[in-house]
A = this chain, B = another copy of it.
Amino acid sequence: MIGHREFILKNKSLVSIDQLDRASLEVILSLAKSFKQQPNHRVLNNKIIATAFFEPSTRTRLSFETAVLRLSGQIIGFTDSRSTSSAKGESLEDTIRMLAGYADCIVVRHPEENSALRASKVSKVPIINAGDGSGEHPTQTLLDLFSILETQGRIDHLVIALTGDLKHGRTVHSLAKALRHYKIKLILMAHPGLEMPESIIQTCRSAGLDIEIRSQWDLSGGIDILYMTRYQKERWSGSLLDIAPFILTRTDFEKFNTKKTLKVMHPLPRVGEIDLSVDDAPQAYYFQQAENGLFVRQALLSLMLSDFKI
């Protein structure tokens, strides 16, 4: 693909995972694989990337910054809005215009939905959405897809179970939308009150996905990927007691006779929904998953900002 046509987001902003069709996703995942094998390249030489984190997110910020450094780029930025002119009343748009005068690309994390889109409208350099409130977090989806591919060798024809807070979880919303490009079975397993929004279910069904809804903790059915998410105390008022049955323990694998090749994924941080006993199990993949964020971000930055060829 690369070398034959221009990458769809070359010198453009990535605001939503919806901007990427299956062909574009595959270009990114393929390039990420080559960065995993050989991480250091000089494709961002003389380029400055701004990490504009209006709310803290260490994992995402450091993953982007490591990706930039391994590509020989350089970094300016801030880690939360207390240290910015936002505290003096400056608008998001004015802050972005300022950064666009200094940097060649701006990675934006902001607590408000649609903030990345707003940023992209006033910026003369590409924006990468690194999470906008309850909106999107497309590079998380890219690393999730890459991790699925890494562990199973393919994405098509898998059984993928999403569980945790499916109602408020930005991560699972974007992942479900991205998975509609593949031929998979999706199991949505949530405590009552935390179900996946109906609109997303419809989008996936319209695209031909086989969707099964479960309201109880049940790992049967040949699951290949168990994708868990955090219960966000800032978004959910329920008790941890309510979701206790939805906590993964090491005995679950035997109890439900899961596939030997099942892998557990989680966007992290976790706060109790995966028992520590799982960490040493061969099914645990969440730490490698986080590390994979580095390679998909290297791939994305290279494709957006340089003439990188595989």
Residues of A at under 8 Å CB distance from B?
40, 46, 48, 50, 56-59, 62-63, 65-66, 69-70, 74, 76-80, 82-85, 87-90, 94-95, 97-99, 101-103, 230, 268-272, 287-288, 290-291, 294
The reply to whether B62 and A102 contact each other, CB–CB distance below 8 Å, is yes
Interface contact B58-A268, CB-CB below 8 Å:
no
Determine how many copies of this chain the complex contains: 3
Nearest CB of B to A79, in Å: 5
Residue of B nearest to A294 (CB): B102
Chain B residues closer than 8 Å to A287, beta-carbon distance: 97-98, 101
**Among candidates B40, B59, B102, B269, residue contacting A46 with C-beta atoms closer than 8 Å:** B40
Q: Which residues of B contact A230 (CB under 8 A)?
A: 88
Alpha-carbon distance A279/B222, docked complex (angstroms):
58
Contacts of A102 in B (CB 8 A): 62-63, 66, 291, 294
Q: Which residues of B contact A84 (CB under 8 A)?
A: 56, 58
Bound complex: CA of A167 vs CA of B51, how far in Å? 36
A293 to B57, CA, bound (A): 29
CA distance A44 to B174 in the complex (A): 38
Query: Are A270 and B94 CB-contacts (below 8 A) given A83-B56, A101-B287, A294-B102?
Result: yes
Q: Across the two chains, which residue of chain B brings its CB closest to A40?
A: B46
From the candidates B48, B269, B290, B291, name the one contacting A69 in the complex (CB within 8 A): B48
| Minimum distance in angstroms from A305 CB to a CB of chain B | 16
User: How far, in Å, is A39 (CB) from chain B's closest CB?
Assistant: 9
Residues of chain B lying within 8 A (CB to CB) of residue A272: 89
